[in-house]
Amino acid sequence: MGTPPIACLSLQALHELSECNVVGVVTQPDRPSGRGKKHDTSAVKKLASQLGLNVLQPEKLNDEPIRDELISMNVDLIVVMAYGQILPDYILDIPKFGAVNIHASLLPRHRGAAPIQWAILAGDKETGACLMKMDAGLDTGDILSVIKTPISTNDTAQDLHDRISVMGADILRTQLPRYLKGQLSALSQNDSLSTYARKITKEDGLIDWSLPASQIHLRLRALMPWPGVFSYLPTKSRRLVKIISADVIHSSGEPGRVLKADKGGVAIGCGHQALLLKYLHREGSKILGASEFLNGCPLQAGDTIG
């Protein structure tokens, strides 16, 4: 059970495991997306179709037809990675080996929908992937195995997404056969150490320049590629500009105030220190380096964005 690209390598790994026979793939229904509102097929569905696997796309897992179908399949194990819905209790009771989930954090830290983004936002030094036994709670089940990876000062959410996708597949290849043989010991989570990684929204990308530059830089990395961090130019139309790349610099000024704007970058005052914007993306344009950006948008010291 899975939907976005991060789950694809795990599906591939399951398909290749000699100990497993994938009898079905459950993924989210095709959804309208983009300006044309064309129905978009999930990454997991595309891969499952290429592998010749049976694909189920229920709107709601509690609907009677999907309940009957899942129960009739008599599956021994359910493997979940980023499915996109909380599983009803009846699903957890179907397989004799239960249901396991690959979660993209070091549980109990960052339970919830956006663990990768919140690990960066929190300034964590490491993250990873957990293979866990699912229960009725939100990412509260016993931990079966863990793989860790450091978070560098330049890692974006996309970087971690790609690494954890590989780690999820690795943990299935190496640990799932051991789990099926009863060779893994389950470790209960310490609920007192848990944090909640709520879903990210577009509004989270709006920059609050009163924050320290270091926190804004964390947000830039955590929300890359979506929704990105953005502010508004000091024009009558208040055109939105996304910040693609920036560095924290030892300078100071009023939050949101342009301190300098030249080929070296656009320096903006923050609550503490400043942020030097190096690559920017203005609405209706393309990503540009600071020098090119200023040719079409002549910001100057003293202007205020926000």
Query: Does residue 221 have a pLDDT over 90?
Result: yes
Mean pLDDT of 136-164: 97
Sequence-distant contacts of 54-59: CB under 8 A, at least 24 apart: 54/23, 54/24, 54/25, 55/24, 55/25, 55/26, 55/27, 56/24, 56/25, 56/26, 56/27, 57/26, 57/27, 57/28, 57/29, 57/30, 58/26, 58/29, 59/29
Distance from C-alpha of 147 to C-alpha of 163, rounded to nearest angstrom: 11
- Do 9 and 132 lie in one domain? The reply is yes
Mean pLDDT score across all residues of the chain: 95
Is 303 inside a domain boundary?
Answer: no
Mean pLDDT of 142-167: 98
- Do 212 and 94 lie in one domain? The reply is no
- Do 165 and 286 lie in one domain? The reply is no
Would you state the pLDDT for residue 36? 60
CATH number, residue 102: 3.40.50.170
Is 301 inside a domain boundary?
Answer: no
- Do 131 and 213 lie in one domain? The reply is no
Distance from C-alpha of 12 to C-alpha of 44, rounded to nearest angstrom: 10
Would you state the pLDDT for residue 237? 76
- Do 176 and 214 lie in one domain? The reply is no
Mean pLDDT of 168-183: 97
Is 106 inside a domain boundary?
Answer: yes
- Listed range (22-26, 31-35, 87-91, 196-200) with the worst mean pLDDT: 31-35
Query: Does residue 37 have a pLDDT over 70?
Result: no
Query: Does residue 199 have a pLDDT over 80?
Result: yes
Query: Does residue 35 have a pLDDT over 70?
Result: no
What share of the chain in percent tops pLDDT 90?
Answer: 92
Is 304 inside a domain boundary?
Answer: no
- Do 117 and 263 lie in one domain? The reply is no
Name the domain count of the chain.
2
Mean pLDDT of 6-21: 97
Q: Which domain holds residue 132?
A: 5-197
Give this prediction's pTM: 0.95
The domain boundary residue, chosen from 164, 197, 230: 197
